[in-house]
Amino acid sequence: MLKTTIAGSLPKPAWLATPRTLWAPWRLEGAALDEGRRDAVRLAVRDQEQAGIDIVTDGEQSRRHFVWGFVEGLEGIDWSRLVTIGIRADRYKAEVPTVTGPVRRRGSIHGEEARLLRASTVRPIKVTMPGPMTIVDTIADAHYGSRAALGRALAACLNEEARELAALGVDVIQLDEPAFNVYMDEVRDWGIEALDAAVAGLACRTAVHICYGYGIKANIDWKGTLGGEWRQYEQTFPLLAKSRIGGVSLECANSRVPIALIELLGDKDILLGAVDVATDAVETPAEVAAVIREALRHAPAERLYPCTNCGMVPLAREVASAKLRALAAGAALVRAELAPAAGRP
């Protein structure tokens, strides 16, 4: 119980991509880039194992951005038609490609990455993909004419990919849906339905990561406008409790999310953000443990998976490594408290 995992991403080595940058350009090309990405995955896995993380990811070392990794594998998208749009309700601008025809997988998208990850560790593995609504919000549409229709089409592509990943031995598939905290009406109208379609019929465990974003300035400014308590989850959690998704990843470290809201998640797994990714200050194991203990007042240990608040790709590598160690050590502290006293001297 209290198995640890991370939201998904880790910083990339400086020889692979520009550090501390989202959408960072690669510093290698061609075969050297392929080899560099594989080496970076092995390092990311080793960092997690050495820290004591139980369910590991490839640190998203093979993708430039958490949305593009999947979208680049689809046909129906014109990358020469780049337009600048405001995403996440215009919180920031991004230059995005345009959907010009039916979206379909060209073939396997993350299969090779999943095989490498599976071969790199004996621990349970997790692969992340962007959720349908977050892709819709990070792309321009000139074909479907409705966000819901595009979302449904993307969900079908995600489901095909997810079935393939599960067959390759992936233990957990997580869909990242930061857009779920922005478009509450759309979550109700089509977001949950698309999420359910994306994870339909999967043999592995599933989760959705909802969040208030990386620790970049636009997000920190936005969080400042959300008031003393962040209650967005109050609307989405009851819907998720009735959905097909297996677990929910949310930020609880240094966040204004009232932790009691996890009671609204029914019997879902809770990937409990106990490490803040918006600061270089490294948590102590005691601070991590305090967040876990607080959550234990509202959900049983069997359903709690201590985790990071969000992806760590914008952090310095040594900071991220130290935070991994704090996460594992904090969870170990609480596990020791919960272990049956029987058998002790």
Sites of contact with Zn ion (CB under 5 A): 211, 310
Q: How far is the CB of 100 from Zn ion (least distance, A)?
A: 29
Distance of CA 274 to the CA centre of its chain: 14
Q: How far is the CB of 71 from Zn ion (least distance, A)?
A: 17
The number of helix segments (H) and strand segments (E) in the chain equals: 11, 9
Q: Alpha helix (H) ranges present in 86-130?
A: 111-120
11, amino acid identity: P
Looking at the Cβ atoms of 53 and 310, the one nearer to Zn ion is 310
Looking at the Cβ atoms of 99 and 252, the one nearer to Zn ion is 252
Q: How far is the CB of 277 from Zn ion (least distance, A)?
A: 8
Q: How far is the CB of 66 from Zn ion (least distance, A)?
A: 8
* E-only strand ranges, 191-280: 205-209, 247-251, 269-275
Q: How far is the CB of 143 from Zn ion (least distance, A)?
A: 28
Distance (Å, whole) CA 64 – CA 49: 23
Looking at the Cβ atoms of 128 and 243, the one nearer to Zn ion is 128
β-strands 247-251, 205-209 pairing: parallel
Q: Alpha helix (H) ranges present in the chain?
A: 30-51, 68-71, 111-120, 132-136, 147-167, 184-186, 192-198, 217-223, 233-241, 285-296, 317-338
Looking at the Cβ atoms of 56 and 208, the one nearer to Zn ion is 208
Looking at the Cβ atoms of 88 and 147, the one nearer to Zn ion is 88
